[in-house]
Amino acid sequence: MRRAFELARRGAGETSPNPVVGCVIVARGRVVGEGYHARVGGPHAEVVALANAGPAARGATLYVSLEPCSHVGRTSACAPHVAASGLGRVVTAVRDPNPRVNGAGLRTLRRAGIDVSSGVLRREAMHLNQRFFIAAREGRPFVLLKAATTLDGRIATRTGDSKWITSVAARRTARRLRRLHDAVAVGIGTVLADDPLLLPQPRLKRGFHRVIFDSDLRLPPSSRLAKSARRSPVWVLARRDVGRRRRALEALGVRVLVQGARGSRVSPQWAMETLWRNGIWSVMVEGGAELLGSFLAARFVDQLAWFRAPMLLGGRSSLSAFGGRGPAIIADALGLRARSRLSGLAGDALVPPTEGLEIWYPG
């Protein structure tokens, strides 16, 4: 099964909204076929492994990191294909949490007379596909908050200078982290200050969305984001419709989504609902401070990637990573637990160990 996990990681970044899946077929103690889901819309891991195994699959044991799917999506269902293959046994790590599957694939296999076992290395399998599991169960995008700070938690000096707190290697790792998500999100303040492109590296074959929280629709048509909107989607989440500005951005291919409710800022709750309705299963929120603070206050935090540079800023007026009012009492703080390594990110090869990077989870 761990070999199936290794294979699954090869598809990291290219399969969303599908999970990463690996598959190994063993006959008489020998591996006769392997496969993994390489890209969204492409053949699934089981189909690839069975094709590689050929006639040797008959009577063999298939190990797969996730329950075979039982519904038709971009590709045909895997479970009926596996059931008709002549396998003697199927071992899965965990059930597919998608309500359209969730045990139906296993039932299909059992009805075909195949010996089925499930739950092997279940916790590791769930962590391998943590973004997929949380999105499927919660009905909202998985949220990674990314912060890059000094040791005392600062992201800019009192004058707003922030280039560069972290190293070139840390910034490269952050761009690689983007590849594991469907979208990256920043506030308009970050865009106006830095004029970023916000693209992942290496570039993805699948679609990647750049989301701007821009309550008053201030994104300049001359910005690198607006000018590159036809290369990679740019979505602006606005609080109100500013006609002329909206038309100028939409003419460049920018998609403008308007909250249309009272309040001075776009709410994280509305943003999450909107992104989910539009097919975004995971989002990496990169800042600035007010945006990170709003997600923290709303408790939309599934993972924190914290890059800490070996320097101190100090000063009352230097900017902290998380803005907003913050809680009134310590009991309302968000508790975190750490992981000592990147294992489980699904993209271990894409996101190499980087000095100063810590991965934290709520709880």
- Number of other residues whose CB lies within 10 A of the CB of residue 352: 13
pLDDT (tens digit per residue) in 107-123? 999 999 999 999 999 99
Q: Regarding predicted confidence, which is higher, 308 or 251?
A: 251
Q: Are residues 239 and 286 in the same domain?
A: yes
Which residue range(s) make up the domain with 17? 2-130
Chain-wide mean pLDDT for the chain?
90
Q: Is the confidence at residue 347, as pLDDT, over 70?
A: no
Count CA within 13 A, CB hemisphere, residue 246. Answer: 13
Q: Are residues 293 and 152 in the same domain?
A: yes
326 part of a folded domain:
yes
> What is the average pLDDT across 330-349?
68
Q: Is the confidence at residue 339, as pLDDT, over 80?
A: no
Q: Are residues 207 and 348 in the same domain?
A: yes
Residue 342 · residue 348 · CB < 8 Å: yes
Number of domains into which the chain is organized: 2
Q: Are residues 80 and 153 in the same domain?
A: no
% pLDDT > 90, the chain: 62
Q: Are residues 236 and 124 in the same domain?
A: no
135 part of a folded domain:
no
46 has catalytic annotation: yes
Among residues 85, 111, 130, the one where a domain terminates is 130
Q: Are residues 115 and 177 in the same domain?
A: no
Q: Are residues 262 and 357 in the same domain?
A: yes
Active-site hit among 34, 46, 67, 286: 46
Q: Is the confidence at residue 342, as pLDDT, over 70?
A: no
Q: Is the confidence at residue 5, as pLDDT, over 90?
A: yes
Confidence of residue 350 (pLDDT cuts 50, 70, 90): low
- pLDDT at residue 91 in the model: 97
From residue 52, alpha-carbon distances to 23, 26, 49, 59, 348 in Å are 11, 12, 5, 15, 26
Among residues 96, 130, 164, the one where a domain terminates is 130
325 part of a folded domain:
yes
Among residues 75, 110, 130, the one where a domain terminates is 130
pLDDT (tens digit per residue) in 92-110? 999 988 877 888 899 999 9
pLDDT (tens digit per residue) in 198-232? 999 878 888 899 999 999 999 999 999 999 999 99
71 part of a folded domain:
yes
Q: Are residues 161 and 76 in the same domain?
A: no
Q: Are residues 152 and 82 in the same domain?
A: no
CATH label of the domain that carries residue 51: 3.40.140.10
> What is the average pLDDT across 41-46?
93
Residues in the chain: 363
> What is the average pLDDT across 7-15?
92
Q: Which residues fall within 8 angstroms of residue 39, CB to CB, at 6 or more apart?
A: 11, 14, 15, 205, 206
Q: Are residues 190 and 81 in the same domain?
A: no
Q: Are residues 83 and 173 in the same domain?
A: no
CATH label of the domain that carries residue 262: 3.40.430.10
Q: Are residues 167 and 215 in the same domain?
A: yes
Q: Which residues fall within 8 angstroms of residue 31, CB to CB, at 6 or more apart?
A: 3, 24, 25
pLDDT (tens digit per residue) in 240-266? 888 899 999 999 999 999 997 777 789
342 part of a folded domain:
yes
